[in-house]
Amino acid sequence: NASLLGILQHPDGTVLKQLQPPPRGPREQEFYNKVYDSDCCDRILLELREYLPKYFGVWSPPTAPNDIYLKLEDVTRKFNKPCIMDVKIGQKSYDPYASAEKIQQQVSKYPLMEEIGFLVLGMRVYHVSSDSYETQNQHYGRSLTKETVKDGISKFFHSGYCLRKDVIAASIQKVEKILEWFEGQTQLNFYASSLLFVYEGSCQATTVRLSDVTLAEKRRVPKGLLSGGDVLEYNNNIHVINSTENGKIEASVGKGLSKFYALHKKSCSKRHHSQLSLKVEDSEQDNVWKSSTCITQEHLNGNVLPQLEKVFYHMPAEPKESAKVEVRMIDFAHVFPSNTKDEGYIYGLKNLITVLQNILDN
């Protein structure tokens, strides 16, 4: 994913983005310094921090002290199989000081920018079915027309099995928050700036519904009641192997547990289709199930439920990482002081929200 963004991943959980030549690089550095100034008390800038990667100043390699890198939070770090999309926002991808040549060059790259207000610069999507990534570069984005842009973007939310409507809905909410910020500020205008979308591509389920019994919501375990020995370790593998009566595994990925579950959409032909097989593989938890347990409808109200509850409820009630979708603003080499609303950026955000909503509705 680093190559998609043209930045280096640092082992400490940050990314290093090399400063561009002047005036762009220094302008981006100045922008981050202003927003993240420890003395900053401007409500607008303080709120803006929520929508940016965290900024940790600049860094230079000891061997090349003149090479300056911005040290930024790696937004993809907490994801197992991050799916990433970079969308340039605004009606103009050139700033007010651009030369005639620069304007001509930018407009010819994507004439629809003025009309659509955004451009897909690249995407990397994890396909569960093939356990591989599909990558599209900016030629893909520039090939999209008004007619095909909806399908072009929907590709980002497709896992190879299904359209991730949960991710689209969460993305819309996040973009709407950024739109609200833009509607309320008149001090900065952004050109050739992007939104970075990231979501978890590996199929991890928080809630597995067995015949409409949603186990994870059935009972909450109060914190502090469990002894350490009862808590499942992070390396547990719970494989949901079979399918429910309607032929689908019903699972929603949301708060909690996401690290614990690997969801495999396979059907066991030898077993009856109303059964669900759960296999717990963990040396410390051998006492839960010695082997794969087949759960039929009649078992659900019998002895298996307490066993399942052992697995599902002895999890941290509120995991630290609950975000399954990130939407962050990036690329600030063309941010300028202003005294008006950034209408071009607002136009792009509204159009992007409309497209996302259309993908969700249809």
CB 312 within 8 Å of CB 256: no
Q: pLDDT tens across 194-251, in order?
A: 999 999 999 764 333 343 333 333 334 334 333 333 332 223 332 332 333 333 333 3
Q: Is position 229 within any domain?
A: no
Q: Do 190 and 326 fall into the same domain?
A: yes
Q: Do 52 and 89 fall into the same domain?
A: no
CB 151 within 8 Å of CB 143: no
Q: Do 119 and 60 fall into the same domain?
A: no
Q: Do 20 and 148 fall into the same domain?
A: no
Amino acid 203: pLDDT: 75
Of 59-73, 191-205, 284-298, the least confident: 284-298
Residue that has been written with the tokens 């926002």 in this structure: 89
Provide CB contacts within 8 A for 48, sequence distance 6+. Answer: 35, 181, 185, 329
Q: Is position 142 within any domain?
A: yes
Q: Which domain holds residue 37?
A: 1-74
Q: Do 115 and 197 fall into the same domain?
A: yes
DSSP structural state of residue 313: H
- State the CATH number of the domain containing residue 116: 3.30.470.160
Q: Do 89 and 165 fall into the same domain?
A: yes
Nearest CA-CA partner of 166 in 49, 7, 290, 323: 323
Of the chain, the percentage scoring pLDDT greater than 90 comes to 64
Q: pLDDT tens across 342-353, in order?
A: 999 999 999 999
pLDDT at 283 over 90: no
Q: Is position 290 within any domain?
A: no
Q: pLDDT tens across 12-40, in order?
A: 999 999 999 999 999 999 999 999 999 99
Q: Is the dihedral of CA 149, 163, 159, 354 positive or negative?
A: positive
Q: Is the dihedral of CA 332, 333, 337, 339 positive or negative?
A: negative
Q: How far apart are CA 79 and CA 326, in angstroms?
A: 10
Across 106-115, average pLDDT: 97
CA 328 from chain center: how many Å?
A: 9
Q: Is the dihedral of CA 89, 168, 83, 110 positive or negative?
A: negative
Amino acid 167: pLDDT: 97
Q: Is position 295 within any domain?
A: no
Q: Do 43 and 81 fall into the same domain?
A: no
Nearest CA-CA partner of 126 in 235, 206, 199, 207: 199
Q: pLDDT tens across 178-187, in order?
A: 999 999 999 9
Across 268-275, average pLDDT: 32
pTM over 0.85: no
Q: pLDDT tens across 116-172, in order?
A: 999 999 999 999 999 999 999 999 999 999 999 999 999 999 999 999 999 999 999
Amino acid 12: pLDDT: 94
Last residue of a domain, one of 74, 100, 131: 74
Q: Do 15 and 95 fall into the same domain?
A: no
